Amino acid sequence: MQHEPGDAYEALVQFLYRAPIGLAQTALDGAVELLNPMASNLLMPLATDAGLDNLFDVLAPVAPQLPAMVQAFIEPSGMICEGLRLPVGVQHAANGPPQVLSLNLTKLDPERLMATLADVTLEVQREQEMLSRRLHSAARTDSLTRMPNREAVREELQRLLARAQDGHGFAVLTLNCDRFRQLNDSLGQPGGDQLLMHMADRLRGALRPPTSRREPGPRSSQLAARIGGDEFVVVLDGLRMRLDAERVAQRLLDVLAQPYVIGGHEIVCHASLGLAWGLDAAALGQHDPDSLLRDAGIAMVEAKRAGGNRHAVFEASMRERAARRADIEADLRQALADEQLFVVYQPVVRLLPDDGVDRAAGVEALVRWRHPQRGIVPPIEFIQVAEECGLIGALGDFVLERACRDFMDWQARLGAAAPRLMAVNLSRAQLGQAGWIDSVGRVLRETGMPPPCLQLEVTESLAAQDQDTQARLHELKALGVQLALDDFGTGYSSLSSLHLLPVDTVKIDRSFVCQADTSYHHRVLIEATVKVAQSLGMKTVAEGIETQSQLDVVREQRCDKVQGYYFSRPLPAAELLDWLALEVALPG
Ligand code: C2E
Ligand code: MG
Ligand code: MG
């Protein structure tokens, strides 16, 4: 279609007049030459008494930099600025967002500028909403595993607790690696992170996707989250019974227990799991996500204390036990600072072929706590707490150093009559601590203790654990010290795997020895242990001898050494010296 020149001009004017974008033509100083209605609409809220005569004056409150920008732009034409956001500040609707304009400024030729203006209020609002959604989801996501974090778990629990009145069953499962600190030390942090990511993947994979709303039965959802370090949480919703939750718990533990391959090495990492049943909590009037998480955590600690790689269901009595442990922990910190800990020594005697005994064969150092209110506390009540709260390092160092010093003191005082071997117990947490083996070497050097006179005792469940532990045991052996396998018969390893452990001595547990004279079965076990140990060149010690007839049995079985109340209870250092001096008057 052909237009007359007049029509074309009119069409152009109409086009500019109706364009849904603000257009303005100005001189280089901002003096307005042409302005379409949209431009004056958009600029009006900014206009002062001077009206819309000069674009730069109008925009001065929100874009004072414009004159300088134009001056700095020396090219004859081109884009001076693009998409400059101008917060006009007025609101269209009562509660609407404040208006924002977008400005493009173009130099048309050496004398003229063209400004285009658009209302981008909604666009800005959408951007901000998206950003805040992203921030919100980042604040609820664990950056390492991309799992929901504690905040997300709390929100979910809040929702479920609110629905619990309707009898809506749900469970909170807290999972924690059994030896993460050790693994992290030996793998290095990147390896530790990788392990956590593998665990996260397995947890996600083991949970089924949410059921659709159309499926019959209760709608269920399963949330797997990481709430810190090596601590994961799974929230199971839409369950009929607690037993269903326990089944899932066991499945998760099984999945996590499969070996991991990290940096080309196969790693085994078991977890412990605590389960809190939401309806129990709600029935007790507990409507706070944090206490539910705490209860599941308390049950998890119980599972760990029971040996790990298992689950425990929260019961109210666990809370009291946890509080008591917290008391012990606080007192124990004080005890280390106030030197309330001390070491007693139980003689370990060697059985001689002529039915006699060598009483100076050695001693075992056993820690005690002189509690200001409770009196003497036995180690069974505090060693595990010390392991859990990280105090075992300081405690173990104290015992090792005290024992070595006392040992050297006896050598100086008694010469050939002094005990010839000092046994010191090790806890699994010590063996996993970075730098600990060096500190054993340091104590040996500083006290002058000959390494072959020190016997470190590890329980068989610890020694049998994994390649890593084995490597540590070999490092210890390289210091020249002896190793003993304590409490043999109570743990996992069997006679058939004894040859794999780098130990010099096997200590047969008291639970076998105390039935040596009454149970044929136990007698046979002792006999088999002694024979296998002997064939491997290892010595044997029978622990917990209390009677002459028990002694007779283990002597007949050719045990090398014995230890027990029959000879002596554990004694303070001074009394031990008396015991050694009173040799003739004692049994044996
Ligand atoms: P253990 O290393 O097997 O030590 C032997 C335990 O059996 C000692 O208990 C000892 O007093 C007790 N015992 C010895 N002979 C007899 C007996 O004839 N009859 C009876 N009923 N018991 C006897 P204690 O001192 O209470 O120590 C218990 C456990 O605590 C130790 O078992 C050891 O595993 C641990 N422990 C003790 N001191 C330390 C320590 O300094 N560090 C670490 N990590 N653990 C320690
Ligand atoms: Mg021991
Ligand atoms: Mg023992």
Which has the minimum average pLDDT: 25-29, 238-242, 292-296, 491-495? 491-495
Specify the higher pLDDT residue, 585 or 233.
233
Domain assignment of residue 513, yes or no: yes
First to last CA, the chain: 128
Pocket perturbation via mutation, ligand 1, pick of 366, 508, 565 by most ligand atoms within 8 A of CB: 366
Domain assignment of residue 130, yes or no: no
Do 179 and 113 belong to one domain? Answer: no
Domain assignment of residue 420, yes or no: yes
Of the residues 286, 314, 342, the one at which a domain ends: 314
CATH code of residue 67: 3.30.450.20
Q: Which residue, judged by its Cα, is nearest atom 11 of ligand 1?
A: 570
Which has the minimum average pLDDT: 73-77, 179-183, 200-204, 360-364? 179-183
Q: 116 and 23 in contact (C-beta within 8 Å)? A: yes
Do 283 and 361 belong to one domain? Answer: no
Of the residues 76, 93, 124, the one at which a domain ends: 124
Q: Which residue, judged by its Cα, is nearest atom 12 of ligand 1?
A: 544
The pLDDT of residue 9 is: 87
Beta-carbon count within 10 A of 492 CB: 12
CATH code of residue 164: 3.30.70.270
Do 288 and 337 belong to one domain? Answer: no
Q: 486 and 507 in contact (C-beta within 8 Å)? A: yes
User: pLDDT band at 66, cuts 50/70/90?
Assistant: very high
Q: Tokens in use for 521?
A: 């079965």
Q: Which amino acid is at 547?
A: T
φ, ψ for residue 360 (rounded to 5)?
-95, 20
Q: What is the whole-number distance in angstroms between the Cα of residue 80 and the centre of ligand 2?
A: 83
Domain assignment of residue 362, yes or no: yes
Distance (Å, whole) CA 269 – CA 286: 34
User: pLDDT band at 49, cuts 50/70/90?
Assistant: confident
Tell me the ligand closest to 460's alpha carbon. 3
Distance (Å, whole) CA 363 – CA 573: 10
Domain assignment of residue 131, yes or no: no
Do 267 and 413 belong to one domain? Answer: no
Residues 6+ apart with CB under 8 A from 135: none
Q: What is the whole-number distance in angstroms between the Cα of residue 467 and the centre of ligand 2?
A: 23
What is the β-pairing status of strands 271-277 and 169-177? antiparallel
Domain assignment of residue 586, yes or no: no
Q: Edge-to-edge, what's the strand order for the sheet holding 112-119?
A: 32-35, 22-27, 112-119, 98-109, 78-91
Q: What is the whole-number distance in angstroms between the Cα of residue 578 and the centre of ligand 2?
A: 23
Do 441 and 341 belong to one domain? Answer: yes
Beta-carbon count within 10 A of 100 CB: 19
User: Helix (H, G, I), strand (E, B), or coil: what is residue 32?
Assistant: strand
Three-state SS for 129-175 is: HHHHHHHHHHHCECCCCCCECHHHHHHHHHHHHHHHHHCCEEEEEEE
Which has the minimum average pLDDT: 1-5, 162-166, 341-345, 404-408? 1-5
Q: What is the whole-number distance in angstroms between the Cα of residue 366 and the centre of ligand 2?
A: 8
Q: Which residue, judged by its Cα, is nearest atom 45 of ligand 1?
A: 425
CATH code of residue 392: 3.20.20.450
The pLDDT of residue 163 is: 85
The pLDDT of residue 21 is: 93
Q: Which residue, judged by its Cα, is nearest atom 13 of ligand 1?
A: 544
Q: Which atom of ligand 1 is nearest to the CA of 379?
A: 30
List, chain by chain if needed, residues with CB within 6 Å of any ligand 1 atom: 346, 366-367, 378-380, 383, 396, 399, 425-427, 457, 486-487, 510, 543-546, 563-565, 570
Tell me the ligand closest to 570's alpha carbon. 1
Of the residues 314, 341, 356, the one at which a domain ends: 314
Average pLDDT over residues 408-435: 91
Average pLDDT over residues 537-548: 97
Do 302 and 342 belong to one domain? Answer: no
Do 368 and 481 belong to one domain? Answer: yes
CA angle (102, 103, 109) in 5-degree steps: 160
Q: What is the whole-number distance in angstroms between the Cα of residue 564 and the centre of ligand 2?
A: 12
Do 333 and 358 belong to one domain? Answer: yes
Q: Which residue, judged by its Cα, is nearest atom 46 of ligand 1?
A: 425
The pLDDT of residue 191 is: 94
Query: Where do runs of H (alpha helix) occur along 73-149?
Result: 121-139
H-helix or E-strand spanning residue 354: none
Q: How do residues 263-312 score in pLDDT, each as one tens digit?
A: 888 888 999 999 999 988 877 777 889 999 999 999 999 999 888 899 99
- CA distance readout (Å), 64 to 40, 57, 99, 353, 481: 19, 8, 18, 105, 80
DSSP state of 33: E
Domain assignment of residue 335, yes or no: yes
Q: How do residues 301-357 score in pLDDT, each as one tens digit?
A: 999 988 889 999 999 999 988 888 888 899 999 999 999 999 999 999 999 998 899
Q: What is the whole-number distance in angstroms between the Cα of residue 64 and the centre of ligand 3?
A: 83
**Does position 216 have pLDDT exceeding 50, yes or no?**
no
Q: What is the whole-number distance in angstroms between the Cα of residue 335 and the centre of ligand 3?
A: 25
pLDDT above 70 coverage of the chain, percent: 94
Specify the higher pLDDT residue, 502 or 5.
502
The pLDDT of residue 25 is: 96
Burial 409-444 (b: 16+ CB within 10 A, else e): ebbeeeeeebbbbbbbbbbbbbbbbeebbebbbebb
The pLDDT of residue 15 is: 85
Which has the minimum average pLDDT: 176-180, 426-430, 482-486? 426-430
Residues 6+ apart with CB under 8 A from 393: 429, 430, 433, 436
The pLDDT of residue 91 is: 66
The pLDDT of residue 466 is: 67
Domain assignment of residue 319, yes or no: no
Which has the minimum average pLDDT: 164-178, 361-375, 548-562? 164-178
User: pLDDT band at 215, cuts 50/70/90?
Assistant: very low
Domain that holds residue 428: 327-581
User: pLDDT band at 213, cuts 50/70/90?
Assistant: very low
Do 300 and 354 belong to one domain? Answer: no
The pLDDT of residue 246 is: 96
Do 91 and 151 belong to one domain? Answer: no
Residues 516/517/519/522 CA torsion (nearest 10 deg): 20
Do 64 and 159 belong to one domain? Answer: no
Do 374 and 236 belong to one domain? Answer: no
Name the region of 365 (left: φ>0; alpha: ψ -120 to 50; beta: rest). beta
User: pLDDT band at 585, cuts 50/70/90?
Assistant: very low
Q: What is the whole-number distance in angstroms between the Cα of residue 509 and the centre of ligand 3?
A: 6
The pLDDT of residue 8 is: 87
The pLDDT of residue 476 is: 94
How many structural domains does the chain have?
3
Which has the minimum average pLDDT: 181-195, 523-537, 567-581? 181-195
Q: What is the whole-number distance in angstroms between the Cα of residue 372 and the centre of ligand 3?
A: 28
Q: Which atom of ligand 1 is nearest to the CA of 343?
A: 41
Q: What is the mean pLDDT of the chain?
A: 90
Tell me the ligand closest to 346's alpha carbon. 1
Q: 345 and 363 in contact (C-beta within 8 Å)? A: yes
Q: Which residue, judged by its Cα, is nearest atom 20 of ligand 1?
A: 544
**Does position 461 have pLDDT exceeding 60, yes or no?**
yes
Distance (Å, whole) CA 362 – CA 347: 6
Distance (Å, whole) CA 3 – CA 8: 6
Q: Tokens in use for 170?
A: 């749900």
Pocket perturbation via mutation, ligand 1, pick of 363, 381, 383 by most ligand atoms within 8 A of CB: 383
Q: Tokens in use for 333?
A: 């910190």
Q: Which atom of ligand 1 is nearest to the CA of 546?
A: 18
Specify the higher pLDDT residue, 166 or 100.
100
Q: Interhelix angle for 467-478 vs 436-447, to 10°?
A: 20
Which has the minimum average pLDDT: 354-368, 404-418, 426-440? 426-440
The pLDDT of residue 260 is: 94
Q: What is the whole-number distance in angstroms between the Cα of residue 366 and the centre of ligand 1?
A: 6
